[in-house]
Amino acid sequence: MNVSFKNESNKPTIIIVILIMIIGFGSCSEDNEQEEILIPIATLTNMNPISGPKATVVTINGTNFSDINTVQVFFNEVEAVVESVSVTQIKAKVPSGAGTGLIKVISNDVALVGQEFTYILTTAVTTIAGGSLAGITDGTGIDARFNNPRDITVDAQGNVYVAGGNGHRIRKITSNGIVTTLAGSIEGSNDGTDSNAQFNLPSGVALDIQGNLYVADTQNRSVRKITPTGVVSTLAGGTLGLDDGTGTDAEFAFPTGITIDTQGDLYTVDGSRIRKITPTGVVTTIAGSGAGFEDGTTATAKFNNPKGIAIDAQNNLYIADTQNHRIRKITPDGTVSTLAGSIQGFQDGSVTSATFNNPRGITIDSQNNLYIADSDNHKIRKITPNGIVSTIAGTTNGFADGNANESNFSQPNSLAIDLDGSLYIADQKNHRVRKIVQD
């Protein structure tokens, strides 16, 4: 006889034991997982060097850095190339154009902010067109010839336009260095198309957003317009004098530098006055009351043969007041002041101590830095918004490409800036167009 025993009362006990074992194993598993994902927090101790140009390798010391695949380094929010990583050290290369700012390290998704890195700009001066001999030859690069180029501007595509000065022509340089004649031929005053049009010592050029080019035609005492199709017309002036008016009823004395605002209004330096020309050719005098030096209102202020003019986004005008050796400012409310300069000379420093020598050209970048063609010092100068004047290129009268301390200019007359921040220089007595790249 087979006997079977059923102990029903043991079932709950067995189930409880099994559950305790499962919970115990699970708890151990969770503890193990927690131990596995605990990652030491990285720290920063020091960085060296904390200043330099692009491509400087900076050593970042600290603790608990992760591996090269997960570490990121930023200079002023621009990501750098990380060259090597150990637990206690990172080596990273300063990216081009980073600018001055904090060094930031990301390790294991934790951001660590370190010291400020002072970015030192590298300056390179090159020649994009023209040679040692004056001329009017079209061509490519240094095979082309210019004759005392007076003014320069650049469009959004990188094409450069040059007021040819003694060549009585308006020239164009494409972004790949091909030089052509846009308009003009022999000395004269004819309107017309392309080479049928004539100019007489054109000394200023400015572009509007439609691609129309405006020319301060100095010896013709007029402001001319060149359409994108090459049609040349006279917008205003044509007679020696100082009368305001509309179109050819207006008079000019000696228009040179010219600039344009976002509304299409033109501003030109004319003798010792600043004139405004609307798109319909209405000419008014907005500042200047004769040769001399005086700050104040636009009605009483005086300038002395200014040559260059620029405008910022707030419609402040900046004047290269040539024979006063100063940089002047005109606000929209009509206040004229001296921004920098005093006596004739050469000195960098604050705007109150800096000096210039017949500054002729001026332009402004998107950060409101001003750049000056300091003609008789044969240098390109910079004025920052916080009032520091420095020399970015040029050493002495002559010709040489190279870095800031190697390059030479000969009476640079004007300059323009492109969307990338590169400067283009009408290097008058060298009969060349130069380019300055800073990164």
Residue range 198-234, pLDDT digits in tens: 999 999 999 999 999 999 999 999 999 999 999 999 9
Under the banding of pLDDT at 50, 70 and 90, the label for residue 38 is confident
**Residue 219: per-residue pLDDT:** 97
Report percent pLDDT > 90 for the chain. Answer: 88
Q: Which fold has domain 123-438?
A: Neuraminidase (2.120.10)
Encoded tokens for 359: 């500054």
**Residue 37: per-residue pLDDT:** 60
Q: What is the mean pLDDT of the chain?
A: 92
Under the banding of pLDDT at 50, 70 and 90, the label for residue 36 is low
Encoded tokens for 127: 């020649």
Residue range 358-380, pLDDT digits in tens: 999 999 999 999 999 999 999 99
Contact predicate 185/168, CB 8 Å? yes
Spatial distance between the Cα atoms of 298 and 402, rounded to a whole number of angstroms = 42
Under the banding of pLDDT at 50, 70 and 90, the label for residue 19 is very low
Instruction: Inform me whether the pLDDT recorded for 24 exceeds 70.
Output: no
CA distances from 26 to 5, 17, 36, 75, 123 (A): 35, 14, 15, 46, 65
Under the banding of pLDDT at 50, 70 and 90, the label for residue 5 is very low
Spatial distance between the Cα atoms of 229 and 183, rounded to a whole number of angstroms = 11
Instruction: Inform me whether the pLDDT recorded for 412 exceeds 50.
Output: yes
Residue range 226-278, pLDDT digits in tens: 999 999 999 999 999 999 999 999 999 999 999 999 999 999 999 999 999 99
**Residue 372: per-residue pLDDT:** 98
**Residue 128: per-residue pLDDT:** 97
3-state secondary structure of 188: coil
Q: Which residues, in sequence order, are CB contacts of 175 under 8 Å at separation 6+? A: 157, 158, 159
Residue range 148-157, pLDDT digits in tens: 999 999 999 9
Residue carrying the six token digits 């009605």: 299
DSSP for 90-147, written as a single string? EEEEPPTT--SEEEEEEETTEEEEEEEEEEPPPEEEEEEEE-SS-----EEGGGS--S
Under the banding of pLDDT at 50, 70 and 90, the label for residue 49 is very high
Residue range 166-185, pLDDT digits in tens: 999 999 999 999 999 999 99
**Residue 4: per-residue pLDDT:** 38
Domain 43-119 has CATH 3.40.190.10: no
**Residue 21: per-residue pLDDT:** 39
Give, as one character, the DSSP assignment of residue 186.
S
Instruction: Inform me whether the pLDDT recorded for 303 exceeds 70.
Output: yes
- Residue ranges of the chain that CATH labels 2.60.40.10: 43-119
213-226: string of b/e by CB count within 10 Å (b at 16+)? bbbbbbbbbbbbbb
- Residue ranges of the chain that CATH labels 2.120.10.30: 123-438
- Residue 434 pairs in a beta bridge with 127, 425
Contact predicate 241/250, CB 8 Å? no
Contact predicate 54/95, CB 8 Å? yes
Instruction: Inform me whether the pLDDT recorded for 27 exceeds 50.
Output: no
Q: Report the pLDDT averaged over residues 392-419.
A: 96
